[in-house]
A and B are shown apart, each in its own frame.
Chain A
């Protein structure tokens, strides 16, 4: 698995070089790509970090590159670098889910700050994704009856009510309940609810 880094995609070598130097002085790992095509050819789904893309480039434009990434369900955060005339395009891209845009010529500290935030966001996204995977694996362990009981618990019902509802005895409900907590590795209904919320609720 690659370490997280900022992928700078710009057709101007001086810009790439300057940004690389700048990121280095702030201890931000980065990789540079002279064109969108080359980046798209190399990019892997498990890459972490963010992409810094110039909108106006020879060949494929930054926006096309962004669309291509999203078409592959790659959710890497994208920061656009844009000239004066491209601002409306950048805003449109933002609405489609781009992370941010920085207008040229930029205050370079701002750019690095934005990139750092994007890297953090990506890291968080990775954590969330990992958690979701765990939760889903645990959910898969539940039997159909246990799942029913869990839904009633999440709905905030007492054991008695659940027993009436499912036409089973209180003891059976309690047994299922402890099984659910055990399988989902939680100790309370509150923890369970938080866990389920992490994967987007049911």
Chain B
């Protein structure tokens, strides 16, 4: 779940998102989404508060209910105790007259007394007193010394007796402690016989017995019952075990017997009521899970958000990088359809992305003059055979300008590892090519110049060398003429001078012979030469130049030619020279008439090379002087080219001629004898 997004998305991932260009990349999150994001944090505490309130309310209702039960139980108990006390008092009042009727009690009375003194009644003793308060009898009999009270004889208490006699109703005495530490109190019931007060029946209650005997088992299991005296001291407790719950208790005055006694009832910890507990526990548990999951969700959101941020940063970074690139980038799918172009590419070819994306070849930026080659390169790339060192291609901008591009291709692999297309980078090398071409021309010019300088130097030396004897000859000659003008002629003198004249003439001839020897030493080296190959190489040399000048060179070479012993460099120079001449002649031609045709044939024991142009042609005057040295029709020409060509042809025992082209222009014809040996 917390998988990080790939920090470097594959090119494919970038490529298939051309849309970000149109959408503001850092658009703010819309308001509803913000609300949605905040909502869980608002509702969660609310939810928890509600759950807590519910639990609290449930607990409090439960407690109230418990308390109500407690109060009910207490009231019931109190009533029960009162009921018991009242019944005992009634029984005492009933049995009273019989006690006074006989001195010794008959068995029936005794049985009734015993019935009264059952342990659960709370009564431990019954005493009956006469009208003066004197003790008439008791049941069971009392051993004299175990009473603790006002005095030994003071049980039953006279004050209570007097109160009962005075009001004519039963009266309860205060509780007092007896010898074994337990507490007792007594009830005095006045007995009347025919409206005459005859005495009182006194019931002595043991508080402990009363409480213990009277309460049912279930009550004592739930509650701890204790009796407190007026000073708040506990005098009787049903159980010695301290109650655990402090707040679940209830106190009511214990009346009768009164005299400040109170009943204290405290609930023991009630048995756990599992259903609500489970309910609450499960609610709390579920709430916890919700909180946890919301927390996890939030962490997830934060992580996702930061991942998105990182992704957006990354993509912005990549876009900035891409936009700042000078290299044109272009992605294509497997069918060759453009899926992506970067700004540099658009700038390079002059088309907008909308015009390019989705296009199938042929592309608008392909150069119509090189369609076949471009298609070839395209097919090669799609077949995966693109050379790693790149392909050079001539393209055309939207405005018609040509550009030379160096193209590198790499396969596009998507996130799943599938090959989905090709990514190409284009470098504009027009300028470099132009610079290279200029450099080459510069080099050529330099070489030509240095050749010229050398040639000039040679010519100058030659001229000086020849000048010397010629000047001497001229001087001798003038001198002789001067002598002939004069009257006297010294024949010996003239003979001497003519001998000198002859010497100088021979000297001049010697110089010329030396030059000729020198030229002779530069005889061509001869090797068996395939003219077709030489012609192809020569055209290869000049093709770039032709292309630049928008000229075409066509060849029509005979399939089989005999090899001719010749110097390849010289023959190549002749061909280059003639082709260049042809192109110069077509300088002003319209584009469809700018072709130089080079043809080879074997005709009648001659190997014939024809170089035909469709230029201006050669007029009669020019034709007469064409092979004169230093004759040229070109402003920068030397007037040596054709001359050299003819010399080379003649060195190889061949001929250079020309005729006019029936289609207009000129055909230069080189012919060499085929030596059958």
Interface residues of A (CB under 8 A from B): 12, 14-15, 17-19, 21-22, 24-26, 56, 81, 83-85, 104-109, 111-112
Q: Are A24 and B474 in contact (CB under 8 A)?
A: no
Q: Looking at the complex, which one of A21, A26, A85, A107 makes contact with B497 (CB distance below 8 Å)?
A: A21
Per the bound structure, the CA–CA distance linking A24 and B477 in Å amounts to 13
Given contacts A14-B504, A84-B460, A85-B460, contact A21 B471 (CB under 8 A): no
Name the 9 nearest CB pairs between A and B, nearest first.
A108-B478, A18-B475, A25-B482, A14-B472, A18-B472, A22-B479, A21-B479, A25-B479, A22-B475
- B477: nearest residue on chain A (CB-CB)? A108
Contact, CB under 8 Å: B483 / A25:
yes
Q: How far is the CA of A65 from the CA of B497 in the complex (A)?
A: 30
Interface contact A19-B475, CB-CB below 8 Å: yes
Query: What residues on B are CB-neighbors of A19 within 8 Å?
Result: 475
Chain B residues, Cβ within 8 Å of A18? 471-476, 479, 500, 504
Nearest to B486 among chain A residues (CB) is: A25
Do A15 and B475 touch (CB < 8 A)?
yes
- The total of chain B residues at the interface (CB under 8 A) is 25
Residues of A within 8 A of B15 (CB): none
Question: Which among B470, B479, B486 has the highest number of chain A CB atoms within 10 Å?
Answer: B479
Residues from chain A with Cβ under 8 Å of B500 in the complex: 14, 17-18, 21
Say whether B411 faces chain A, with CB atoms less than 8 Å apart.
no
Q: Is the interface of B mostly helix, strand, loop or mixed?
A: helix
B483 contacts across to A, CB distance below 8 A: 25
Separation in Å of the A54 CB from the closest CB of chain B? 9
Q: Give residues 529-586 of B contacting A (CB, 8 Å).
A: none
List B contacts of A22 (CB < 8 A): 475-476, 478-479, 482
- Contact among B463, B469, B482 with A14 in the assembled complex (CB-CB below 8 Å): B469
B505: min CB distance to chain A, Å: 11
The 21 sampled A-B contact pairs (Cβ below 8 Å) are A14-B468, A14-B500, A14-B503, A15-B472, A18-B472, A18-B476, A18-B479, A18-B504, A22-B475, A24-B479, A25-B480, A83-B460, A83-B464, A84-B463, A84-B467, A104-B471, A105-B471, A105-B474, A108-B475, A108-B478, A108-B479
Q: A56 to B464, Cβ gap below 8 A?
A: yes
Q: Is there an interface contact between B479 and A14, defined as CB atoms closer than 8 Å?
A: no
B471 and A17 form a contact (CB under 8 A) = no
Q: Does B507 contact A (CB under 8 A)?
A: yes
Query: In the complex, A122→B468 CA distance in Å?
Result: 28
Alpha-carbon gap, A147 to B480, bound state (A)? 59
Report B48-59 CB contacts with A as 1/0, cut-off 8 Å: 000000000000
Contact between A21 and B475 (Cβ–Cβ < 8 Å)? yes
Q: Which residue of B lies closest to A81 (CB)?
A: B471
Bound CA span A17–B472, Å: 8
Q: Which of B470, B476, B504, B507 has the most CB of A within 10 A?
A: B476
**Which residues of B (424-468) have their CB < 8 Å from a CB of A?**
460, 463-464, 467-468
Chain B 496-520 per-residue mask, 1 if CB under 8 angstroms from chain A, else 0: 0100100110010000000000000
Q: Which residue of A lies closest to B503 (CB)?
A: A14
Alpha-carbon distance between A18 and B497 when the two chains are bound, in angstroms: 9
CB atoms of B475 and A83 under 8 A apart: no
Q: Closest residue of chain B to A11, judged by CB?
A: B468
Contact A12 B478 (CB under 8 A): no
Contact call B479/A15, Cβ cutoff below 8 A? no
CB distance from A154 to the nearest CB of B (A): 50
Assembled-state Cα–Cα distance A81/B472 (Å):
12
- Provide the residues of chain A in CB contact with B473, threshold 8 Å: 18
Which residues from A are CB-within-8-Å of B477?
108
